[in-house]
Amino acid sequence: MNDMRIAERDVSTSETKITARDVNVHYGASHALKGVDVDILNGHVTAFIGPSGCGKSTFLRCLNRMNDTIAAAKVTGRIELDGENIYDPKVDPVQLRAKVGMVFQKPNPFPKSIYDNVSYGPKIHGLTRSKAELDEVVETALRKAALWNEVKDRLHAPGTGLSGGQQQRLCIARAVATSPEVLLMDEPCSALDPIATAQVEELIDELRSQFAVVIVTHSMQQAARVSQKTAFFHLGNLVEYGETGQIFQNPRDPRTESYISGKIG
């Protein structure tokens, strides 16, 4: 399976990046995720939709093992990144998270300068050898996050002083700066106004040429706009997974249909 790894980061093929099989999550006594099977493809935006508490965020947090930080959470099943089981005891979650970046629901920049926010990841992973190289990485990441032009004159101003939408794009730049292979986004636009949302959505579409992007969203319109694949979760079950167009226009499962037509959720 190792030969499926690609050296250059231009992701145009649609091969499987992440394979999840029979993933179950328990929070103490509650069974939050029940036997989920999903394949996440390179070069695609995959949207997870579903009503609150359906397990979509829980599943997203399984993909970079952020659930490890919750003592009560227990994950079973197999999740493979390029054929390697990320829950293998030999896998260090820290190394995994360098490959699988994450953007959170609420913009959470560090209370440091814009520059320090973006350069933090490359610094701790030792990705650059000199200040000039680091400057370049920061600029590239900010350009990818469509933020460079707005902040290039105040890189040393506090990141928390930006507007909400800018902060979220700063968080995206921070995640992108470590050159991850997969980018997970947990409702990245729920705290943003429509204009900032549009900017972030545009960004997501551009980012998929370099990463496999997984996005959790409450907004079905957003899922329809940005994603190529959509997974519908309900009460911890993956109800339906398929092409976004098919899910929205021609859902196979009656529960999917009721959700997207607004009858449940």
Partner 1 sequence: MTDISAHPSGKRKTSSLLQLDARTKRRNAAERRFQIYGLVCIGIAMVALVMLLVSIFSGGASAFRQTFATFEMTLPAETLDPDGNRNPEEMAKVTTIGYQNVLRQGLVTAVRGANIVPEGMTDADITGMLSPEAAADLRNRVLNNPELLGQQVEIDALAHGRIDGYFKGRVTMQSAERDANVTPQRLQLAQAMADNGLMALRFNWGFVTKPDASDQRPEAAGLGVALLGSLYMMLVVLVLSVPIGVAASIYLEEFAPKNRWTDVIEVNISNLAAVPSIVFGILGLAIFINFFHLPQSASIVGGLVLTLMTIPTIIISTRAALRAVPPSIRDAALGVGASRMQAVFHHVLPLAMPGILTGTIIGLAQALGETAPLLLIGMVAFVRDYPDGPPAGLFDPASALPVQVYNWTQRADPAFVERSSGAIIVLLAFLLVMNAVAIILRRKFERRW
CA 76, 80, 83, 86 torsion: positive or negative? negative
Strand partners, 242: 230
Least distance (Å) from partner 1 to the CB of residue 136?
18
Q: Is 121 in the site for partner 1 (CB under 8 A)?
A: yes
**Which residue, 74 or 106, has its beta carbon nearer to partner 1?**
106
CA distance 219 to 250: 18
Shortest reach from residue 119's CB to partner 1, in Å? 11
Coil, helix or strand for 12? coil
Sorted by sequence, the CB contacts under 8 Å of residue 32 that are 6+ apart come out as 25, 26, 55, 58, 73, 236
- Measured in whole angstroms, the distance separating CA 232 from the mean position of its chain's CA atoms is 16
- Residue 220 structure tokens: 């079905």
Question: What part of residues 134-163 is at the interface with partner 1 (CB under 8 A)?
Answer: 158, 160-161
Binds partner 1 by CB under 8 A, chosen from 12, 69, 130, 149: 69
Among 64, 67, 166, 256, binds partner 1 (CB under 8 A): 64
Q: How many CA atoms lie within 13 A of 250 on its CB side?
A: 4
CB nearer to partner 1: pick between 56 and 174? 174
Map residues 81-110 to x or -, x wherever contact with partner 1 holds by CB under 8 A: -------------xx-xx--xxxx-x-xxx
Residues that bind partner 1 (CB under 8 A): 64, 66, 69, 71, 94-95, 97-98, 101-104, 106, 108-111, 120-121, 124-125, 158, 160-161, 171, 174-175, 177-178
